[in-house]
Amino acid sequence: MRLNLVEAGDGPPVILLHGLFGAAQNWGAVQRHLAARYRVLALDLRNHGASGRAAAMDYPTMAADVAETMRAMGAEPAAVIGHSMGGKVAMALALAEPGLVSRLVVVDIAPIAYPPALRPYVAAMQDIPLQAGLTRRDADAALAATIPEPNIRAFLVQNLRMQDDPPRWRLGLEEIGAAMPVIEGFPDFPGRYDGPALVVNGERSGYIKPESHTSFQALFPACRFATVPGVGHWVHAENPAGFLALIDPFLD
């Protein structure tokens, strides 16, 4: 599947891959900064944003989407930066087609299986009655019983197309919900990626634990680890300056 994207800047290509429930626009500040020196393509992964909908959401398939899009845009090889689910897609791409990835940045996710903590989010979003007159405040209130964190609710609700009547989701929620067991996991790959790799975690996030480092090192033997202080899982959104202070020298 060729993916929808937002492009900015000129220079060596950089690919940005968002996380679950995200979209290309989530990289706005990071993309604007990098576009001063690079050709930066932020992609909508399948079942997200303006990209197509499909039942399959395994990581080899999503990596193949990225590879197809990169080739169509003449943007290969590229530095590939992926957050959360997008980080798993980035790792899958580097392992499946290492020649496409000049450098790899994985943000706050490990190549391991995670517990089903986000499945209630999908169910809560599906339960919102998409009817005429629905407001963002109504949608936020409908999510509050399941998702107590206001910042997470705001992140999810931004996927509602309020200009439509009634509003509709920019997400393929049915496809995402069915694919959650696959999204939570990570498949076995026969090879490894020997290129430069940087693993960035948020200091207050629990997504990358010290015991996960051996999983990274087995697949990405040249990887280095870095931490952005004072932030949780949404590293690049919570502290763009701290994130870019690590990314800039690595890309250089």
- Say if residues 25 and 8 touch (Cβ distance below 8 Å): no
Catalytic residue among 84, 97, 184, 205: 84
Note the helical H segments in 28-84: 28-34, 59-72
Bin 47: left if φ > 0, else alpha if -120 < ψ < 50, else beta: left
Whether 203 is a known active-site residue: answer no
Whether 84 is catalytic: yes
Q: Looking at 174, 212, 213, 215, which residue is catalytic?
A: 174
The catalytically annotated residue of 18, 33, 233, 236 is 233
- The H or E element that residue 222 is part of is none
**Cα dihedral sign, 169-174-179-181:** positive
In this structure, are strands 197-202 and 223-228 parallel, antiparallel, or unpaired? parallel
What residues form DSSP beta bridges with 81?
Answer: 16, 105
| Token pair for 180 | 């959650």
Q: Which residues of 178-206 are buried (b: 16+ CB within 10 A; e: fewer)?
A: ebbeebbebeebeeebebbbbbbbbeebe
| 149 in active site | no
Q: Which residues are catalytic?
A: 84, 174, 233
